[in-house]
Amino acid sequence: MTFPLSLAFLGVVFGTSALSGVFGMAGGLILLGFLLAWLPATTAIAVHGVIQLGANGSRAFLSRHYIDWRIVGWIVLGVMLAAGLLAWLRYTPDERVVMLLIGMLPVLVWLPRRWFRLDVSRPLDAVLCGCVAGGLTIAAGVSGPTIDIGFVRTRLDRRTVVASKATIQVIAHALKVVFYWQAALALSRGEWGWIALAIPLSFLGTRAGNAILRRLTDASFRGWTRWLVTLVGGYYIVRGIMAW
């Protein structure tokens, strides 16, 4: 990794962590795309998991008083079931498939809420949501909008949604790092040094985003989230199609 690319990497980590600190998603989508531009899919997903552990961990810590631990527990159970299944199948990601999967995820935020019957306040729904989100986290590297599907029928406020999602993502990304650990070992010590430096930057970015989150209303939060993830998703669909 060249010095200019390393500096760009640190800037992207800070900026995307700030975005995720505000909206609880989108930042991870952008960061993964940056990593896929210069790393193989398996390595990019592993590095993404390490960085997102720092970003989501700090977001969960800053909003820890709003975490709904009962919901988190059931969803994490589903995430672990999906991870176990993919490990049994010996799944290996393809960059083009990853791009298309990421690009299609934002479509979910535009579908009418009445179409979704999932409510993560119900244990069975939470486990199902975790299975889908966990599978996508490992298969494509991200899963933010799929977790949102389970939250649209709850009456949780934006802070509880962001805090609970961050906690779920901490565990999901940890499993992802373990899943692709061998690919991550291909990186040099110097590259891991830049990654280690990026972790505290992800915390600072999350803190900056958290300050903005407190100023948003629930309505503006949901509106901006939709448009942001749709723009990012459109970019990935085009990029994925061009790669075939």
What sign for the dihedral angle of Cα 73, 78, 81, 87? negative
Which among 62, 43, 58, 64 has a CA at the least distance from the CA of 13?
Answer: 58
Q: Where are the alpha helices (DSSP H) in 63-113?
A: 69-89, 95-104
Distance CA 15, CA 174 (A): 22
Full-model pTM = 0.80
Q: Which residues contact 193 (CB under 8 A, 6 or more apart)?
A: none
Neighbouring CB atoms inside 10 A of 131's CB total 20
pLDDT score for 145:
65
pLDDT score for 11:
93
Which among 52, 41, 46 has a CA at the least distance from the CA of 181?
Answer: 46
Q: Do residues 131 and 38 touch, judged by C-beta distance below 8 A?
A: no
Q: Do residues 145 and 29 touch, judged by C-beta distance below 8 A?
A: no
What sign for the dihedral angle of Cα 36, 41, 45, 51? negative
Residue 121 structure tokens: 């306040």
Backbone angles phi, psi at 133, to 5 degrees: -65, -40
pLDDT in tens, the chain (244 residues): 688 888 999 999 999 888 877 776 677 788 888 898 888 889 999 999 888 887 778 778 888 899 999 999 999 999 999 999 999 999 988 888 888 887 877 676 666 666 667 778 889 989 998 998 888 888 888 876 677 777 766 777 778 887 898 898 899 889 899 999 888 888 888 888 999 999 888 888 888 887 887 777 777 776 777 777 778 778 878 877 887 7
Question: What's the structural domain count of the chain?
Answer: 1
Q: Which domain holds residue 203?
A: 3-242
